[in-house]
Structure 1
Amino acid sequence: MPDLDGRVAVVTGGSRGIGRAIVHRLRAEGARVASLDVTPPDATESFDAADLHLDADVTDERAVAEAVERATTELEAAPTILVNNAGVNAYFDAAEMTSAQWDDFFALDLKACWITARALLPAMRAARQGAVVNVASIHATLTQPGRFPYAAAKAGILGLTRSLALDEGPNGIRANAVCPGLVDTQLSREGFARDGHGVTVESLASEHPVGRVGTPLDIAELVVFLASDARAGFITGAAIPIDGGVGVRLS
């Protein structure tokens, strides 16, 4: 029997890239999956799409609450797995970033993780079962110049994860974070092309001890492991790097 058979999961940002791979792997393990994403599912992706796509802005509290209610109704069970994957890369000069830009960025990359967790926690508490997996970044603990305020938002996710793990553990709910390094996604490639410095995904492969950059499926496998009570039932409050060993060089 698939490991997550009968469970319902919510994945934010599940239309493409890492999120789409997470959806694919959760479904392969038997879960029914709702994706909350303002971007339509990418028809060119090789991974399975979600059972239910909900056009929901995860920074909008009402939209998230309505999406969770719809997912519960249409997938015929309350979600007990949450993967907070939605986010953007945003790098600013600390002296030039505006308060409005700060608020917009942190609303998606940090606050939305709390908004979605808050929407799902009542049902998880009632079931006395739940797994929250937050997608952070290696930049949460090890960073480089020019990553302001991305590193700050991702570090905040780790604090949020630890607090959820402590407060919700007695309710049967686990919370963990994954911290990817460079992953070969369309978003990463677009970012390198926009920078115009000649850096490519391929050119950075040799910087990794394993000799390659990550794939969306690499991240998805770890997320699914952490979502599983059978495999990871004794893991909570963890922040697990998945970076091909490059963090060893950054430290």
Structure 2
Amino acid sequence: MTERLIDEVVLVTGAARGIGRAVAEKAAAEGAAVGLIDVLAGELARTTAELRATGARVAAVVGDITDENAVAKAVGELSSELGPATVLVNNAGKNAYADATRMTVAEWDSVFDVDLKGAWLMARQVLPSMIENRHGAIVNIASIHSSLTTAGMFPYAAAKSGLVGMTRSLALDVGPHNVRVNAVSPGYIATDLLEEFFTTFPAEREHALDVHPLGRIGTPADVAEVVCFLASRAAAFVTGANWAVDGGLGVRSA
């Protein structure tokens, strides 16, 4: 390990499983104190216990990132235990499959609340201390759907495109304070959300393997490596970027 995150306090949303858990594991292995936030209480408790068993400094809070009061409470509790966040990884998200002519406003709001508003609420909560200390990094987990999408994914692509736009805008706003904001756009990654997608669209499973130039589905660890690089001082001159972690899928023309 490079220990590139020593002295950092890394908050990860959606940290109980999948990419969030992999990011938490990698950040801890790289020397960070790690704060975990998720709504899945049972899985969060297991992840926390397993991370602590490695000797990592870890704290966890069950919290809903779409509720501004819950966000303030969660970040406050984690800051009291670990210190102010120096890195935020906005990983929590949800898939959506809808017909634009039939989707209800409530269904639309539920997607944007998690995939976009929650990232803003978290950023709003941690940025004041980052700006005051002139040190911080935010990494937003977007998606390949922010630039390339498929039929049936409305309005997930719209929400993730918004997250990339927010990344660029925030990067400009907080750059003068030495705070960096970047996005990572995973492609097909072996998570519960991907399995949900394959269950909804069974024909996509084999097709996904066929179209990847690297010939495989990605792993949460593949994404975590890039996230922790962008969170570290090794990426000190990288901000406002959207990094594809998609096995080359995004460069195919067909």
Band the TM-score falls in, shorter-chain normalisation? over 0.9
What are the Cα deviations for residues 60-118 of structure 1, in whole angstroms up to 9, with x where unaligned? Answer: 1011111111111111x110100000000011000000111111110111011100000
For the residues of structure 2 that align with 1:149 and 1:220, how far apart are their CA atoms? 26
Contact 2:13 2:91 in 1 (8 A): yes
Percent identical across equivalent pairs? 50
For the residues of structure 1 that align with 2:223 and 2:201, how far apart are their CA atoms? 27
Partner of 2:202: 197
Superposed displacement of residue 191, structure 1: 2.9
Note closer, same or farther for the CA distance 1:192–1:86 as it changes in structure 2 (3 Å cut): same
Superposed displacement of residue 250, structure 1: 5.1
Alignment partner of 1:248 is 2:251? yes
Partner of 2:239: 236
For the residues of structure 2 that align with 1:39 and 1:180, how far apart are their CA atoms? 22
Contact 1:20 1:48 in 2 (8 A): no
For the residues of structure 2 that align with 1:213 and 1:162, how far apart are their CA atoms? 28
For the residues of structure 1 that align with 2:11 and 2:3, how far apart are their CA atoms? 18
Partner of 2:21: 20
Match of 2:163 among 157, 168, 171: 157
For the residues of structure 2 that align with 1:188 and 1:126, how far apart are their CA atoms? 39
Match of 2:138 among 129, 132, 137: 132
Contact 2:9 2:87 in 1 (8 A): yes
User: Could you tell me which amino acid in structure 2 is paired with residue 38 of structure 1?
Assistant: V
For the residues of structure 2 that align with 1:128 and 1:4, how far apart are their CA atoms? 17
What are the Cα deviations for residues 97-153 of structure 1, in whole angstroms up to 9, with x where unaligned? Answer: 011111111011101110000000111011100100000001101111111101000
Partner of 1:94: 100
SS in 2 for 1:9: strand
Alignment partner of 1:74 is 2:81? yes
Aligned-pair Cα RMSD in Å: 2.0
Alignment partner of 1:106 is 2:107? no
Match of 2:224 among 210, 217, 220: 220
SS in 2 for 1:176: strand
Superposed displacement of residue 203, structure 1: 5.5
SS in 1 for 2:159: helix
Contact 1:58 1:115 in 2 (8 A): yes
Q: Which residues of structure 1 form unaligned runs of 5+? A: none
Alignment partner of 1:84 is 2:85? no
Superposed displacement of residue 189, structure 1: 1.4
Superposed displacement of residue 3, structure 1: 1.3
Contact 1:12 1:35 in 2 (8 A): yes
Note closer, same or farther for the CA distance 1:203–1:94 as it changes in structure 2 (3 Å cut): closer
Partner of 1:48: 51
SS in 1 for 2:252: helix
Superposed displacement of residue 204, structure 1: 2.4
SS in 1 for 2:12: strand
- Would you say how many aligned residue pairs link Structure 1 and Structure 2? 247
For the residues of structure 2 that align with 1:95 and 1:177, how far apart are their CA atoms? 30
Contact 2:60 2:78 in 1 (8 A): no
Partner of 1:178: 184
Q: Which residues of structure 2 form unaligned runs of 5+? A: none
Alignment partner of 1:63 is 2:67? no
Contact 2:12 2:36 in 1 (8 A): yes
User: Could you tell me which amino acid in structure 1 is paired with residue 34 of structure 2?
Assistant: V
What are the Cα deviations for residues 42-76 of structure 1, in whole angstroms up to 9, with x where unaligned? Answer: 6489x73781121000001011111111111111x
SS in 2 for 1:178: strand
SS in 2 for 1:48: helix
